[in-house]
């Protein structure tokens, strides 16, 4: 009997080891692919500055330019999430990356404003990779590790910071047109690596008996709408400010583009890399607790960032005295760094909500929540530019974000915090009624 069971046990352990190895390989290569996709998606955050000067764009036009790729990267997230559930993340991710390479390369030959907008729509497809990789990597791991796995994958958001490190160097050395050329080559090389080291598992696919309409039924759940609101801040705000910060530093503090990009990375880098830690914390403490504290930290930081540079005069017994109030570049960067950390944790906690509540429909739900976050990233830069053109106040961007966070805090209090408190007090009182 023992001679029969030992080979079976050995085969089982060998299969488990192989599956574990494949899971970590999928996670590593998918995270690399998402990092490169996000780097490409955020490309206008740096090359948009010389393009703005070349085309003599105002702030609203610049906002639209930077936001255009975000639009298509957002709109395509729902179908990509559904296709990933049905056909598998490996094939969908590979096709998506291949489709973006020609558009990235053609960006170097654009000369008119409409050229950049049209090509930007196709480049923006790279942003849809999030809704492919999230369900793809999550299904390779057990439930207790899915928050961490999705957090590691989501750390590919650090591609926004990579763009700020790499693009200014290429731009200064070779001109802005070299940036999309290099990025197209990097995307193609990453596609090859992804295909070599990723795997497929038919057991991860949604049965073909489940229709698209069945997958979308869960979108009627009011919880999904709430998660969309949260994600429009922690991801949409992250994308919008990642695109906006380089030119903000240049305009507000008069910095060189390389220094401005480096300081802007103090927000983008922790906002991406620390998402893995946010996933681990969400596994440990729960999605609700993490998201609640993220919103409060965001509210405090945005309140301080909203205050514009101001001089005010007070009439004293010794005559008028003028005082200056405003953030210097060091305090501003420190607050942005804290905000980046908070949003990294928040991005992970929102998707922990999804994996907890919709384990069999992660692709479709992550697609619609990702769509909401991406649309936030599309609309906010345009609104930032419009507000600055209307008011002339650069910090109006943070005033807008402050108001959006207020909405989420109030919504979260009435739908989660207050409900939990009421249910908790009811649970505590219920034994006295039953005795």
Q: Which CATH superfamily is domain 20-197+215-423 in?
A: MFS general substrate transporter like domains (1.20.1250.20)
Q: What average pLDDT does the segment 119-141 reach?
A: 87
Query: CA–CA separation, 64 vs 81, rounded Å?
Result: 26
Asked if residues 188 and 177 have their Cβ atoms less than 8 Å apart, the reply is: no
Is the model's pLDDT at 41 over the cut of 70?
Answer: yes
* Helix, strand or coil, per DSSP, at residue 352: helix
263: tokens are 């300081």
The chain-wide mean pLDDT, for the chain, equals: 82
Q: Is 186 exposed, middle or buried (0-12, 13-18, 19+ CB in 10 A)?
A: middle
Work out the number of other CB atoms within 10 angstroms of the CB of residue 397.
26
What residues are paired with 120 via a beta bridge? none
- Write out the E strands in 299-414: 310-316, 319-325
Query: CA–CA separation, 409 vs 65, rounded Å?
Result: 31
pLDDT of amino acid 418:
67
Query: CA–CA separation, 75 vs 97, rounded Å?
Result: 16
Question: In 3D, which of 79, 80, 126 has the Cα closest to residue 107?
Answer: 126
Main-chain phi, psi angles of 313, to 5 degrees: -110, 135
Question: CA dist 292 to 72, 234, 415, Å?
Answer: 30, 12, 12
pLDDT tens digits for 58-77?
A: 888 888 888 888 888 888 88
139: tokens are 């299904």
Q: What percent of the chain has pLDDT over 90?
A: 22
Question: In 3D, which of 420, 265, 289, 248 has the Cα closest to residue 340?
Answer: 265
Q: In terms of pLDDT, which residue wins out, 351 or 253? A: 253
Question: In 3D, which of 373, 372, 365 has the Cα closest to residue 138?
Answer: 365
CA 313 to chain centroid: 42
Is the model's pLDDT at 428 over the cut of 50?
Answer: no
Range with top average pLDDT, 23-27, 94-98, 167-171:
94-98
Domain ranges of the chain: 20-197+215-423
Question: CA dist 113 to 51, 117, 237, 283, 336, Å?
Answer: 9, 6, 25, 46, 31
H or E stretch including 334? helix 329-357
- pLDDT tier at 2, thresholds 50, 70, 90: very low
Residues 6+ apart with CB under 8 A from 80: 92, 96, 128, 129, 131, 132, 367
pLDDT tens digits for 160-213?
A: 788 888 888 888 888 889 999 999 999 999 999 999 988 877 776 666 555 556
Q: What is the dihedral of CA 235, 301, 332, 313, to 10 degrees?
A: 140
């Amino acid at each position: 009997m023992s001679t029969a069971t030992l080979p079976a046990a050995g085969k089982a352990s060998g299969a488990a080891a192989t599956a574990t190895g494949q899971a970590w390989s999928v996670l590593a290569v998918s995270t690399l692919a998402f990092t490169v996709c996000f780097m490409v998606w955020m490309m206008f955050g740096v090359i948009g500055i010389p393009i703005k000067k070349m085309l003599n764009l105002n702030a609203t036009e610049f906002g639209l330019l930077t936001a255009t790729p975000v639009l298509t990267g957002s709109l395509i997230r729902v179908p990509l999430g559904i296709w990933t559930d049905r056909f598998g993340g490996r094939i969908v991710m590979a096709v998506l990356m291949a489709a973006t390479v020609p558009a990235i390369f053609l960006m170097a030959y654009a000369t008119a404003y409409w050229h950049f907008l049209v090509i930007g729509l196709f480049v923006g497809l790279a942003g849809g990779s999030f809704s492919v990789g999230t369900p793809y990597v999550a299904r390779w791991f057990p439930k207790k590790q899915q928050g961490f796995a999705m957090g590691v994958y989501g750390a590919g958001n650090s591609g926004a910071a990579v763009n700020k490190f790499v693009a200014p160097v290429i731009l200064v050395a070779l001109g802005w047109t070299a940036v999309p050329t290099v990025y197209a080559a990097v995307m193609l090389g990453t596609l090859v690596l992804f295909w070599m080291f990723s795997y497929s598992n038919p057991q991860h696919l949604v049965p073909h008996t489940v229709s698209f309409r069945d997958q979308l039924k869960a979108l009627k759940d009011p919880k999904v709408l709430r998660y969309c609101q949260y994600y429009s801040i922690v991801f949409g705000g992250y994308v919008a400010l990642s695109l906006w910060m380089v030119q903000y530093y240049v305009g507000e503090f008069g910095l060189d583009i390389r220094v401005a990009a480096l300081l802007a990375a103090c927000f983008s880098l922790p906002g991406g890399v620390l998402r893995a830690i946010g996933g681990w914390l969400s596994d440990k403490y729960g999605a609700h607790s993490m998201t609640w504290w993220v919103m409060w930290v965001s509210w405090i930081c945005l309140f301080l960032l909203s205050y514009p540079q101001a001089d005010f005069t007070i009439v004293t017994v010794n005559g008028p005295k003028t005082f200056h109030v405003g953030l210097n570049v060091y305090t501003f960067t420190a607050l942005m760094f804290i905000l980046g950390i908070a949003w990294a944790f928040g991005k992970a906690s929102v998707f922990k909500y999804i994996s907890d509540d919709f384990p069999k429909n992660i692709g479709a739900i992550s697609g619609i929540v990702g769509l909401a976050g991406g649309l936030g990233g599309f609309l906010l830069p345009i609104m930032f530019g419009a507000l600055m053109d209307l008011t002339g106040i650069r910090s109006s961007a943070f005033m807008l974000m402050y108001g959006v966070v207020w909405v989420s805090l109030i919504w979260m209090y009435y739908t989660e915090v207050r409900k939990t408190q009421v249910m908790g007090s009811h649970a505590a009182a219920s034994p006295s009624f039953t005795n």
